[in-house]
Amino acid sequence: MLAELQALVRLQSIDNQISRLKNELSKIPAQIEAEKKYLKEYEEDLETAQAAVEAMQKRQRDTEGEIQMADEKLRESRGKQPLVKTNEEYRALTQEIESFQGKIAEFEDQVLECMESVEPLREKVAETKKGLESANNTAGMVIKKHEDHQAGIEHELEKHQRERQRTWDEISSDWQARYKMVHKNMGGLAVAAIIDRTCQGCRMDETIQRFFEIRDSKDEISSCSNCGRIIYYKEAEAVGTVVPTDETA
C-alpha cells in the first residue's frame, strides 16, 4: 500500500479514537453533577430535619415564657388576697387565681408535649446526618473515580492528538484537504475499506473492473465512485464471507 494511503488509513483510525474519547469525555460532567445532586438531596433532608427540631424547641421556649408570665400574674393576684374586704372581691380574686393556675397547668402540659415530640425529631436529625456522611463518602469516591477517568481520557487524547499531527504531516496538502472535506461531509468517515467490491463506507459495490483497478493500483489513491470516500483494498477475512466492519462505528 502507498505510504500516503497508509497514513490516511491511520489518520482515520486516530480520528475514530479521538471522536470516541471526546464523546466519552463529554458525558463525565453530567455524571459528576448527578452525584452532587444526590448529595444535595441529603443535605436538604438534613436541613428540613434540623428546622423541625428548632421549631419544636422554639415552641417550648415560647410556652415556657407564657408560664413565666402567668406565674407572675398569679403571684400578683395572690399578693392582693390579704387586701380584699368583701366576699364578692374574694370570690373574684379566687376565680382569677384558679384561672391562672389552669392556664399554667395547660402550658406545662404543652411543654411536656414539646419535650416528648422533640426526641424523635432529634433522632431523625442523627439518622439523616449518618445518611449524609455515608452518601458523602460514596459520592466522594464515585466523583474521584470520574475525575480520574477524565484525567486518563485527557491524557490519552493528548497522545492521540500528537500522533495525529505526526500522521497529518506525512500527507500531502491535496489529500489533507480532500480528507478534511470528506470527513466533514461523510459523518466523520473519510477513509473506508473496500471488501469484496463493497465500499464499507456506503455499502455500494464497485464494478469488477474498477475493483481490480483499486486493488491493483500501486501508485494511486482511489475514491469510491459512489460516496467519494478514500478507499483502500482489504482482503475479506474468510472466503465467501462479507466481514462486518467496525470502520463505520
- Residues near Zn ion (CB under 5 A) are 199, 201-202, 224, 226-227
Per-residue exposure over 166-183, b if at least 16 CB sit within 10 Å of its own CB, e if not: ebeeebeeebbebbeebb
Q: From CA 54, how far away is CA 143, in angstroms rounded?
A: 33
CB of 202 to Zn ion, least distance (A): 3
Q: Which is nearer to Zn ion, 67 or 190 (CB)?
A: 190
CB of 198 to Zn ion, least distance (A): 9
CB of 226 to Zn ion, least distance (A): 5
CB of 131 to Zn ion, least distance (A): 57
Per-residue exposure over 104-132, b if at least 16 CB sit within 10 Å of its own CB, e if not: beebeebbeebeeebeebbebbeebeeeb
Q: Which is nearer to Zn ion, 70 or 186 (CB)?
A: 186
Residue 204 is placed in which grid cell? 455500494
Contact 85, 38 (CB under 8 A): no
Torsion of CA 216, 217, 221, 226, to 10 degrees: -50
Q: Which is nearer to Zn ion, 11 or 189 (CB)?
A: 189
Closest to 7 (Cα-Cα) out of 178, 241, 187, 208:
178
- Cell 426526641 found at: 119
Q: Which is nearer to Zn ion, 68 or 226 (CB)?
A: 226
Contact 171, 211 (CB under 8 A): no
Triad 151, 154, 158: Cα angle to 5°: 140
Q: Which is nearer to Zn ion, 11 or 224 (CB)?
A: 224
Q: Which is nearer to Zn ion, 56 or 192 (CB)?
A: 192
**What does the DSSP 8-state code read for residue 88?**
H
Q: Which is nearer to Zn ion, 5 or 70 (CB)?
A: 5
Q: From CA 231, how far away is CA 192, in angstroms rounded?
A: 5
Alpha-carbon Rg for the chain, nearest whole angstrom, is 41
CB of 21 to Zn ion, least distance (A): 26
